[in-house]
Structure 1
Amino acid sequence: MEQLSAGQKLDRAFEKLGKKKTLSFELDLDTDVASLKALDAKSDPEPGEEIPEQAAELLSGAKITVTVQSKRPLDESGEKDLVGTALKVSTPDGDLAEYRVIGDFTYVRADMAAMGEMAGSPVPDAGDLPPEAGAMKDVIEGKWVKIDTKEMEKVTGDSRKAEGGPAPAPSLDAKTQKKLVKALREVIAREVKFKTADGANGTEHVKATAPFRTLVTELFGEIRPLVKDLPPGMDLPTDKDLKEAPDAKVTADFTLKNGALSQVDVDLAKLAESAEVKKLGLTLRMREGAKPTVPAGATKLDLNELMNGFFGGSEMGDPESA
């Protein structure tokens, strides 16, 4: 029987993920309100810009779930191969926001009341909106709306041009992606120490430990020769920036089940370099991907009409034509 090193086991676990055509993962921020406030205080915000209590409470229990579906195995896929993507942000009190991109449309819904409380800026009541608000009433009420994806890209692109902002950055080509993965693997092989241990229910743990500053410095050192192949605007941190990064050792705990990656836990509290930040971690759980589905009853939201009329403050014409 072939004996694999901890690093080889981890490589094979990631390769198994890449062979899937549909994959879901859940990102859980493992922290508490006190730690988030201490972390915010350490960043020295301007008076009045401190993180609100409500926002800290929501973030401390937030989970992000992402699903990707492709026509080809994910490690061979490009943007054109994706047939469905979905992202949901949830809290213990319910879903906060969700969007799905399926076919020609992007579907969106959000708990606007909760988001308004988090931002400290309550949203208006849907009944108080003028008739020309149209589908915006559904947005306020947290119902599904759908937006033509090409129209959305055009409107956001035109908005960037009008504001003198940069155009959307192109995605990385497959060749550059492979170069980045190769660079990452080389740095990990040099700088990361691996250790294996048996877990419960037939699982196995691979723990990877490395000093954070050394790891990111080496990683960006490998990436810099590839800058010419990266999309415009992807500026890398300077050597001076990296010297200010914490040099504490960080451990990532990878849980493998039947050789496949099922969970990753990372404790980031040491990176905060503050005794007040007692709980700060990330947990990433892998799930069998379920095909993203079209939500029923979504109202079409016309962005051009919305931007030129409701938000532009001009007349929108006949409401019945909306």
Structure 2
Amino acid sequence: MRKGLSAAAVVALISAGAAACGGDDPASPQGKVSDAFQKLGKQNTISVDLGFSGTSAQIYSAMKNEDGFTQADADLLASLHLTVGGSSQKSLDLLGKSFGKDKDATKDSSAGFVLSTDGAGGKKLIEVRAVGQKVYLRADIKGLEGLDTDKSDAGDIAGFNQQYLDTLSSTPGSVGAALTGKWVSIDPTVWSAFVKSALAAQGGGTTNSATPTLDAQTQNQIVTGLRAALTKDATFTDGGSKGGADHVKVTVPAQQFAKDVATDLTPALKQIPGMKQSDLDKFQQAEGVPNKKVTADVAIKDGSIASITFDIHQLDSESTGPLPLTLGFRGSAAPISAPAGAVALNPQDVIGAITSNLHSGDGGSDDSVF
């Protein structure tokens, strides 16, 4: 899973950099990629689906030498998909010239993600939407048990379900709704005020409730840096046509590219609460990134980016075969909207449900919900 996340990061960085890196010749491979991102960016809503392209048998064959990796793990990875989306009343303008300059660019925007499985009885496991000033959440608690492939013990999720789910699910109101897979809404200002009040009551001081934001100068610095890294580090070559799409190969020296990108992203990462300087130092040193060239395949269909595929085998010499990870892109005019019928989930509801459950239990157990 760690290598999968590393590969996803490589693909995402190449995607962002390629979008920011326009070519002088629109007919060149680099120009085609840049133009394809610009066309995708003219959509009001964009979703990106991350998942392995291979079958469970191919995934197991490639990763069977990993310590503790099983066929059940391969089955899980083959079925899982993470879809991330964003929408705006205006076109999203992916890293275009106005990025970071329009203070109202995100005023009417929405975002969301879905973790789903397409295996037997495929379903959405977790779905989150951020619309306006609220966050909407829906989760399949029972379905999440499938994420624990180690059947040697009950597992944390299964243990929670067995001990608490039935009781808490019958709780009236928002807690019961959340635990039975219904939509609930969360107001960040309400929860922030609750946390501040709880800390003050415990003598723990206060917490900064402000949401970290990137100023226009930092945003432009990131975009300029990504553009410079791609211009200096990457080569674009024609990959021919296949499956109704034109393909472009984007090759970068992995370690140097990672260092250049880390330098550009550090000003933004420093603004994340709790970020340690030691972690930033490791990030800038590109620890664990091989000193070799790696290639991603960019598929362009109807003039727009369709997918970017990266073979994790390039990052791992222990892998016994190809293991492609793919980002699939889709654009549309349909916005990400707030779900109908969501019930407000407030801190008092959660505390009340937990307290009620503990009082109705054995009364002396050290086994709490958290």
Query: For this structure pair, what is the TM-score category when the shorter chain's length is used for normalisation?
Result: 0.7 to 0.9
TM-score by length of 2: 0.68
Matches of residues 166-245 of structure 1 in structure 2 within 5 Å?
170-200=212-242, 203-222=245-264, 226=267, 230-231=271-272, 233-234=274-275, 235=277, 236-238=280-282, 241-242=285-286, 244-245=288-289
Shift of 1:304: 3.1
1:84-112, CA deviations, whole angstroms, 9 ceiling, x for partnerless residues? 32211110121111012233432211110
Which residue in the other structure is 1:320 paired with? none
2:108/2:132 contact within 8 Å kept: no
Which residue in the other structure is 1:145 paired with? 184
Which residue in the other structure is 1:113 paired with? 142
Match of 2:329 among 263, 278, 286: 286
**2-side partners of 1:177 and 1:241: how far apart?**
22
1:172/1:231 contact within 8 Å kept: no
Shift of 1:265: 0.9
Amino acid at match of 1:150: T
**2-side partners of 1:65 and 1:154: how far apart?**
31
Matched, 1:97 2:126: yes
Which residue in the other structure is 1:34 paired with? 60
- Show structure 1 runs of 5+ residues with no match: 42-49, 317-322
Amino acid at match of 2:185: K
Amino acid at match of 1:142: G
SS in 1 for 2:341: coil
Shift of 1:60: 3.3
TM-score by length of 1: 0.77
SS in 2 for 1:185: helix
**1-side partners of 2:76 and 2:230: how far apart?**
34
1:252/1:267 contact within 8 Å kept: yes
2:196/2:207 contact within 8 Å kept: no
Q: 1:69 to 1:243 in 2, by over 3 A?
A: closer
1:93-132, CA deviations, whole angstroms, 9 ceiling, x for partnerless residues? 2111101223343221111012134242311465423865
Amino acid at match of 1:148: D
1:86/1:100 contact within 8 Å kept: yes
Identity in percent: 27
Shift of 1:215: 1.4
**2-side partners of 1:136 and 1:61: how far apart?**
29
Q: 1:51 to 1:82 in 2, by over 3 A?
A: farther
Q: 1:53 to 1:144 in 2, by over 3 A?
A: farther
Which residue in the other structure is 1:47 paired with? none
Shift of 1:134: 3.6
**2-side partners of 1:287 and 1:115: how far apart?**
26
Shift of 1:192: 1.2
The structure richer in strand per residue is 1
Q: 1:136 to 1:175 in 2, by over 3 A?
A: same
SS in 1 for 2:33: helix
Which residue in the other structure is 1:310 paired with? 353
Shift of 1:240: 8.3
Q: 1:135 to 1:255 in 2, by over 3 A?
A: same
1:146/1:301 contact within 8 Å kept: yes
Amino acid at match of 2:324: G
- Identify the range of structure 1 (130-139 vs 102-111) with the bigger mean alpha-carbon deviation: 130-139
Which residue in the other structure is 2:11 paired with? none
**2-side partners of 1:106 and 1:228: how far apart?**
23
**2-side partners of 1:11 and 1:88: how far apart?**
27
Amino acid at match of 1:257: K
SS in 2 for 1:4: coil
Amino acid at match of 1:87: F
Q: 1:131 to 1:230 in 2, by over 3 A?
A: closer
1:160/1:166 contact within 8 Å kept: no
Matched, 1:136 2:168: no
- Show structure 2 runs of 5+ residues with no match: 1-24, 94-98, 149-154, 360-370
Which residue in the other structure is 1:72 paired with? 90
2:26/2:32 contact within 8 Å kept: no
**1-side partners of 2:92 and 2:127: how far apart?**
22
